[in-house]
Chains A and B, each alone.
Chain A
Amino acid sequence: DAMVIQNPRYQVTQFGKPVTLSCSQTLNHNVMYWYQQKSSQAPKLLFHYYDKDFNNEADTPDNFQSRRPNTSFCFLDIRSPGLGDTAMYLCATGAFFGQGTRLTVV
């Protein structure tokens, strides 16, 4: 059974139209991460939670926000997506990754 679940698997959004990606975990881990992975690149850390303590990387664009209402769920909000935000978005807890959401901005 999947331990980290991301929805949707694929998302197409228009330039500038807000989009929210979701992640849930059944492991009850305190730690959750959001990564952005562009084609042929390594995952790049966007946000890091330890419980509700939140930390965004210095170079995470202001356009990206994250929410963690409880231990199990985490959301990534992109307020005004640009073409350069087309990427795979990966959620992880500890060593376990979700299947990712492949976001295309058109």
Chain B
Amino acid sequence: GQQVMQIPQYQHVQEGEDFTTYCNSSTTLSNIQWYKQRPGGHPVFLIQLVKSGEVKKQKRLTFQFGEAKKNSSLHITATQTTDVGTYFCAVYNQGGKLIFGQGTELSVKP
């Protein structure tokens, strides 16, 4: 079935440093979603990418979808303590099921 591999598993940064998490698939994806889950919270939808090479921005967050639609990244510029949490990519497989990557847990040291 459809799977995505997400790296790194953990990332510890100093406040103000940048952060990037990557998702890779062996097969072409129709779309990819990104979620943020705060400690103790539930996944919150951030964005969906659909088009090859697509780049979308939300304030300090930049989302990219690869040209081959096999990889995606989320980049946060100048991290803040409010960015702490786990970031997941997720894809819909052919059966319409939303399958999550392993997640990247971000910690930010003030």
Contacts and interface: CB of A to CB of B under 8 A. Distances in A.
A95 B45 contact: yes
A25 to B, nearest CB: 14
A92 B33 CA distance: 14
A42 B101 contact: yes
Contacts of A48: 95-97
Nearest to B9: A40
B69 to A, nearest CB: 19
Interface residues of B, number: 18
**Chain A interface size range:** 20 to 34
Interface of A: 31, 33, 40-45, 48, 50, 55, 57, 88, 90, 92, 95-100
Top 6 A-B pairs ranked by shortest CB distance?
A: A95-B45, A42-B100, A97-B42, A100-B42, A97-B43, A48-B97
29 contacts: A31-B96, A33-B97, A33-B98, A41-B102, A42-B88, A42-B100, A42-B101, A42-B102, A43-B88, A44-B100, A45-B97, A45-B99, A48-B95, A48-B96, A48-B97, A50-B96, A55-B95, A57-B97, A88-B42, A90-B43, A92-B43, A92-B98, A95-B45, A95-B48, A97-B42, A97-B44, A97-B45, A99-B41, A100-B42
